[in-house]
Structure 1
Amino acid sequence: MSQTPPNAPPPQDNSAPLSPEEAEAARAASEAEAQAAQQAELATLKAQNTDLADQYLRAKAEAENARRRAEEEMSKARKFAVESFAESLLAVADSLEAGLAVQEATREQLREGTEATLKQLLSALERHKVVQIAPPAGTKFDPHQHQAISMVPAEQEPNTVVTVLQKGYLIAERVLRPALVTVSAPK
């Protein structure tokens, strides 16, 4: 059992009712604490808002810079792709000019020069993934790569290529121009 020292003040009864002034003071103190807590929370939220707004602006600027860099890189890639293609055609132009500079040549020499220049041109096109579509006779008609100009009676199977009127071209497996062909008519 605990004993109270003789000089100790008597224990206070906390259950005693407060006077109206004390109650008002306690309420005011409680409101002041709540208001101080709200002010502190408001200051924290304002700081977070400022920080988030700053992060947003930085992210927006980074995204804009990335978009601009991507556009510049695409522009450079297109420019250099065209430049590379044009550079590969310069040899063909040089061969044509050399052929025109020859004053006297036989038909055979002109043909050889023209064939060599064509081979040079086709090689330059192939380096840039431009490939001819020239289906041999008897090949099944493919509407994705061929354009039928006419149907003719033929001894071969129906719906097959009879002749190629104009070669087509693919670029990176996409049709640049379909081959113009005549197709065998159904019997």
Structure 2
Amino acid sequence: MSGENENQPNLENAADVEAGAGDQTATDEGQLDVNLAALLAELDKARQDVLYVRAEAENIRRRAAEDNEKTRKFAVEKFARELLAVRDSLEMALADQSASFENLKIGVDLTNKQLASAFEKADLKEINPVGEKLDPNKHQAISMVPADAEPNTVVQVMQKGYELSGRVIRPAMVVVAAPK
């Protein structure tokens, strides 16, 4: 029986070890469940944050598109207001029944000044290149004439050109000096 007694303690020790391991396994599983739950909650929060950021980005994109559309639609509003005063002056001149050439000339001169002021406020500048070298980016030569000026120099402007904020919107139509 001594052989059995020797086996008895070993069996009891094995049972104790298994019971301890079972407690440890249960503790580890419980900790893993807690960790898993925390990670799942963190993942859910990250998903919500991503959805929020996407929605916010879409709102910003939509607002920017609306702002661009409004800007494009009403970009000339300020200039149009300036031109209304010019039109009013022209209509008043046409309605004048005094038949005085001098009054008409004064009215047209004032209207031209109003128009020049509107152009200046809109950064619309005149291109009047008399005496300058031909610049194909700003001038369109329509003919050449013999002249005392250096060849390819503008000697006459047939139609003024215009730049809007430094960008040519209509080149000046010019006559240039021909080479001798």
Shorter-chain TM band: 0.7 to 0.9
Identity of aligned residues (%): 50
Q: Distance in 2 between matches of 1:18 and 1:179?
A: 110
Q: Distance in 2 between matches of 1:24 and 1:177?
A: 96
How many residues were matched structurally? 171
Q: Which runs of 5+ in 2 are unaligned?
A: 1-9
Query: Residue 114 of structure 1: CA displacement?
Result: 2.3
Give the AA of the match of 1:177: R
Partner of 2:53: 59
SS of residue in 2 equivalent to 1:148 = strand
Q: Distance in 2 between matches of 1:152 and 1:52?
A: 77
Give the AA of the match of 1:186: P
Where is the helix percentage greater, Structure 1 or Structure 2? 2
SS of residue in 1 equivalent to 2:76 = helix
Partner of 2:178: 185
Query: Residue 134 of structure 1: CA displacement?
Result: 1.1
- 1:12-34 per-position Cα deviation (integer Å, ceiling 9, x unaligned): xxxx8996656655665555444
Q: TM-score, normalised by structure 1?
A: 0.74
Partner of 2:107: 113
Q: Distance in 1 between matches of 2:53 and 2:106?
A: 63
- 1:93-151 per-position Cα deviation (integer Å, ceiling 9, x unaligned): 11111111123424444333323222211211211111111112x20222222222233
Partner of 1:161: 154
Does residue 129 of structure 2 align to residue 140 of structure 1? no
Partner of 2:77: 83
Q: Which moved more, 1:139-148 or 1:24-33?
A: 24-33
Q: CA RMSD in A?
A: 2.8
Q: Which runs of 5+ in 1 are unaligned?
A: 1-15
Q: Distance in 1 between matches of 2:84 and 2:78?
A: 10
Partner of 2:169: 176
Query: Residue 52 of structure 1: CA displacement?
Result: 1.0
| Aligned partner (choices 97, 100, 105) of residue 103 of structure 1 | 97
Give the AA of the match of 2:46: L
Q: 1:38 to 1:183 in 2, by over 3 A?
A: farther
SS of residue in 2 equivalent to 1:66 = helix
Does residue 92 of structure 2 align to residue 92 of structure 1? no
Q: Distance in 2 between matches of 1:147 and 1:75?
A: 34
| Aligned partner (choices 133, 138, 151) of residue 144 of structure 2 | 151
Query: Residue 43 of structure 1: CA displacement?
Result: 1.7
Q: Which moved more, 1:87-96 or 1:67-76?
A: 67-76
Q: Distance in 1 between matches of 2:134 and 2:34?
A: 80
Q: 1:45 to 1:102 in 2, by over 3 A?
A: same
Does residue 44 of structure 2 align to residue 50 of structure 1? yes
Q: TM-score, normalised by structure 2?
A: 0.77
